[in-house]
Amino acid sequence: MKLATGIGGWPKQAIEAARNAEREGADIVTCGELAHDSMLVMALAASATERVELQTSVTIAFPRSPMVLAMEAWDIQHLSGGRFSLGLGSQVKGHNERRFGGTWSPPAPRMREYIDMMRAIWDSWQHHTRPNFVGKHYQYTLMSPNFDPGPLDVPYPKIGLAMVGPGMARVGGERADVIMPHGGIMSDRYMREVLLPAVRSGLQSAGRNWSDVEIAATGYLIPYEDEREIESRMLSMRQALSFYGSTRTYHKVLELHGLEELGQKLHSLSLQGRWDEMRDAVPLDAIAELSQTCRYDDLPEFLMKHREYASRFSFSMPVRSEEDRQRAAELRRRIQQLETPRVPRGLEL
């Protein structure tokens, strides 16, 4: 199993974080896109590292044209020697229209076109195929020699796809190389009952198999050293749940667990701008309903049993002493040695 660790913040900080992650043995470095540009961070991380895989988690697609991202991903793939994965996310309607000043349309079919156009662009650069992609949302029918960067001597960048709903999960099964369930609000039950079956449907429709995709392990997980830590860890998760739970797009997860009223309350508070009250509105019972717990030392066994579908896992462990550092290194080694089936139980193809 590949171990991932996140970097972020100002680009200068991200460079050092990427170097440290590689030194400590991480397989993948990821970065989000909140207050800083993910593609810039990954370009800098590529120049500062030699081995680690680089994945945006995520890059917001729709405010950029497919050509812009295809060009940036091509350059980062060249710079990194073939280590780049472009993780795409749609964001929600309000942010696309009111923060990015862009447009909105049903996201799953638009994302399918987006990915298809990027791959058509890469094919024309790699194999000099004629640009001939015409979709409902995007078209690519022109490529002059001056704008053609030329072929790569490494594979195309991998494309990852973030998802919350079944529509995007089906697109992931059809088109993506990496399945990236939204970790900010996700339960193991929702993953197994909603997302993974939709991914399977997409794989079937495209004539693909589970071996054609990598899946990131997800689901609210509370690792702990001592059981007395669990409540404090739950309290620390209230902020993230209040933020994502305030957006209707993510209410599907809450509804599956009978937490509809919580979602409605959080949404109402967000509309009123009462951001400081939202965290306190999340009861610990809600966190407990969505979460699983596991001792740090038992993580490898937990992953084999409860994340058997995954080949990627994000992991961090508090380090307060040299003994802790050695334990964390040993735990990382044990996790990296795991060979999961990579097929969800009951969803074989």
- Is the distance from CB of 293 to CB of 237 less than 8 angstroms? no
Q: Please give the residue range of the domain that contains residue 321.
A: 2-223+298-336
10 inside domain: yes
Give kind and range of the element (H or E) at residue 133.
strand 133-134
Same domain, 302 and 278: no
Same domain, 246 and 267: yes
Same domain, 208 and 247: no
- Is the distance from CB of 300 to CB of 335 less than 8 angstroms? yes
Question: How many other CB atoms are there within 10 angstroms of residue 94's CB atom?
Answer: 12
Same domain, 285 and 318: no
Q: What is the DSSP string of 102-130?
A: -----HHHHHHHHHHHHHHHHHHHHH-PP
Same domain, 184 and 265: no
Same domain, 102 and 157: yes
Q: What is the pLDDT of residue 118?
A: 98
* Nearest residue to 253 via CA among 173, 168, 164: 164
Q: What is the DSSP string of 48-109?
A: H-SSSEEEES-EE-TTS-HHHHHHHHHHHHHHHTS-EEEEEE---HHIIIIIS------HHH
- Is the distance from CB of 299 to CB of 335 less than 8 angstroms? yes
Distance CA(257)–CA(16), nearest Å, equals 40
pLDDT tens sequence for the chain (349 residues): 999 999 988 999 999 999 999 999 999 999 999 999 999 999 999 999 999 999 999 999 999 999 999 999 999 999 999 999 999 999 999 999 999 999 999 999 999 999 999 999 999 999 999 999 999 999 999 999 999 999 999 999 999 999 999 999 999 999 999 999 998 889 999 999 999 999 999 999 999 999 999 999 998 999 999 999 999 999 999 999 999 999 998 899 999 999 999 999 999 999 999 988 999 999 999 999 999 999 999 999 999 999 999 999 998 888 899 999 999 999 999 999 999 999 999 999 9
Q: What is the pLDDT of residue 184?
A: 82
Q: Which residues pair with 1 in a beta bridge?
A: none
Q: Is 343 helix (H, G, I), strand (E, B) or coil?
A: coil
Distance CA(92)–CA(248), nearest Å, equals 9
Same domain, 304 and 208: yes
Number of domains in the chain: 2
345 inside domain: no
Angle (nearest 5°) at CA 175 between 173 and 179:
50
Q: Are strands 139-140 and 133-134 parallel, antiparallel or unpaired?
A: antiparallel
- Is the distance from CB of 313 to CB of 1 less than 8 angstroms? yes
Same domain, 308 and 183: yes
Look up residue 10 and give its amino acid: W
Cα separation values, 321 from 295, 301, 328, Å: 19, 25, 11
The pTM for the full model equals: 0.96
12: domain CATH number?
A: 3.20.20.30
143 inside domain: yes
* Nearest residue to 292 via CA among 163, 189, 165, 196: 189
Distance CA(283)–CA(88), nearest Å, equals 32
